[in-house]
Amino acid sequence: MAYYYAEPCHTFNEYLLIPGYTGPDCVPSNVSLATPLAKYRPGKEASRLTLNIPLVSAIMQSVSDDRLAIALAKEGGISFIFGAQSIRSQAQMVAKVKSYKAGFVVSASNLTPDSTLTDVLNLKEKNGFSTIAITHDGSAHGKLMGIVTSRDYRISRMTGSEKVSTFMTPFSKLVTAPESVSLKEANDIIWDHKINALPIVDNEGCLKYFVFRKDYDSHKDNPFELLDEQKRFRVGAGINTRDYKERVPALLEAGADALCIDSSEGYSCYQADCLKWIRDTYGSSVIVGAGNVVDADAFRFLADAGADFVKIGIGGGSICITRETKGIGRGQATSVIEVAAERDKYYKETGVYVPLCSDGGIVYDHHMTLALAMGADFIMLGRYFARFDESPGAKVMVNGAYMKEYWGEGSNRARNWQRYDLGGAGKLSFEEGVDSYVTYAGSLRDNVELSLYKVKSTMCNCGVKSIPELHKNARLTLVSPTSIIEGGYHDVTLHTNATSIK
């Protein structure tokens, strides 16, 4: 007969942390949120990739593109660029992230000398960049003819039909640098000449890159930036179990720092085959995660198959309806607790620590701390990041409030059939996700800063100053339905609902 679990599964909302002793040095500023992404042998070697904050963005069309990847890397996390697109376009997104923080940025806004002021204004409105390169053919690497910035024109005194050649700063008046210049030298030139942008040109006078003053300032403002050895932003990418033999090489060539097999359910021969091919082809040089799983057996299967990290969670996402349509899944808290116990057992047996990623089920900021306390090393978030300016979804007005579009990979809109592939026909036979809106929340930086301050504050309440300490010392308790109600405001009338009587 079928196997029945004796206990029901639970969600994060059914648990609370018990406070521990808080010493005088246990303050948020002393808390480290650094955490490993790739497996390693503690005491013998360090993880090949360590995050500065325990947040990664979901492998979703409505969440993880190059823009959000740059914003999250600035804060110390990493994005996994969505894979439900052509190999070429995904690799281009990865390359954009890698080139962005190298300090040498490929120009994203370009026009020709024959373009007009109207073209300048339209391009600025579209891309949001005030520096526009003027090349002979309007390409990013054409012969540089000049530059246009907001200081070169006054809309109130111009008609819009003026040609760029009549008001641009011409090449002869520009401060430029050769391709051989280092980033430090480029920044010195910027400061010495009091300019905001330095064009980097080759021997033929063709534009190669820009170095911007704001990137230097940005680094000073973002001390936790997640950078590689060449001072470039770290970025990940999602792959599937169909075209990985073509997709993986392209992503690695573009500079991807980590890969993750994107699947709604990872306990399969397809993920094992994918992992085997990557290990046979690249050995241990490529960081690749796998999942998703909800129990000990599935974790061990993927760990033995060569996964660098394992993702936990089936059906817990806010836009996921897998549990409704297929009847599979498990409460996220129970899943993390069981898989973490098996991870620790695996470490004792093999000496290899395999990091865990909790994916889904995060509704409130305190759920992040609970996921980490239960054994997760980092957290993958979709809805959370979809709310921000930097996400790909459109910002729209719905019922008088600003919202952001957010759709699941299993929705009819995304049609990411590879994520739900079981070796059958190449199509999405039925939906496992919905098309929705989430409340617009502003910039990624402001929200992440606040969320992680809450995490650090809670960790201090528990008497710990690092995620490993939280794993070891956290004490958690299940709460009753009545306790959950008691946890919010109750038996009062909110002041905002009162009407004054004169």
Mean of pLDDT over the chain = 91
Q: Which residues pair with 176 in a beta bridge?
A: none
What are the tokens at 238? Answer: 């999602």
Among the residue ranges 166-175, 360-369, 379-388, 481-490, the one predicted with the least confidence is: 481-490
pLDDT in tens, 244-259: 999 999 999 999 999 9
Q: Any idea what DSSP says for residue 105?
A: B
Q: Read off φ and ψ for residue 123, nearest 5 degrees.
A: -70, -40
Q: Which residues pair with 17 in a beta bridge?
A: 476
Confidence of residue 171 (pLDDT cuts 50, 70, 90): very high
Among the residue ranges 8-17, 78-87, 167-176, 218-227, the one predicted with the least confidence is: 218-227
Residue 432 makes CB contacts below 8 A (sequence gap 6+) with 264, 320, 321, 322, 325, 326, 408, 410, 411, 420
Residues 104-116: what's their mean pLDDT?
A: 91
pLDDT in tens, 146-155: 999 999 999 9
Enumerate the active-site residues. Answer: 320, 419
Residues 3-17: what's their mean pLDDT?
A: 94
pLDDT at residue 101 tops 70:
no
pLDDT at residue 74 tops 70:
yes
pLDDT attached to residue 427:
59
Query: What is the distance of C-alpha 103 from the center of its chain?
Result: 20
Query: Counting Cβ atoms within 10 Å, is residue 226 exposed (0-12), middle (13-18) or buried (19+)?
Result: buried
Query: What is the distance of C-alpha 212 from the center of its chain?
Result: 24
pLDDT at residue 501 tops 70:
no
Other Cβ atoms within 10 Å of 309 Cβ, number: 26
Confidence of residue 159 (pLDDT cuts 50, 70, 90): very high
What are the tokens at 275? Answer: 């992992």
Among the residue ranges 126-135, 450-459, 489-498, the one predicted with the least confidence is: 489-498
| Cα dihedral 177, 181, 186, 192 sign | negative
> Tokens 């281009």 belong to which residue?
92
Rounded CA gap, 432 and 408, in Å?
A: 8
Amino acid identity at 476: L
Q: Identify which has the larger pLDDT, 393 or 355.
A: 355
pLDDT at residue 306 tops 80:
yes
Residues 164-183: what's their mean pLDDT?
A: 93
Other Cβ atoms within 10 Å of 34 Cβ, number: 15
112 within 8 A of 164, measured Cβ to Cβ:
yes
Confidence of residue 498 (pLDDT cuts 50, 70, 90): low
pTM: 0.81
Rounded CA gap, 149 and 133, in Å?
A: 9
382 within 8 A of 317, measured Cβ to Cβ:
yes
Count the residues in the chain: 502
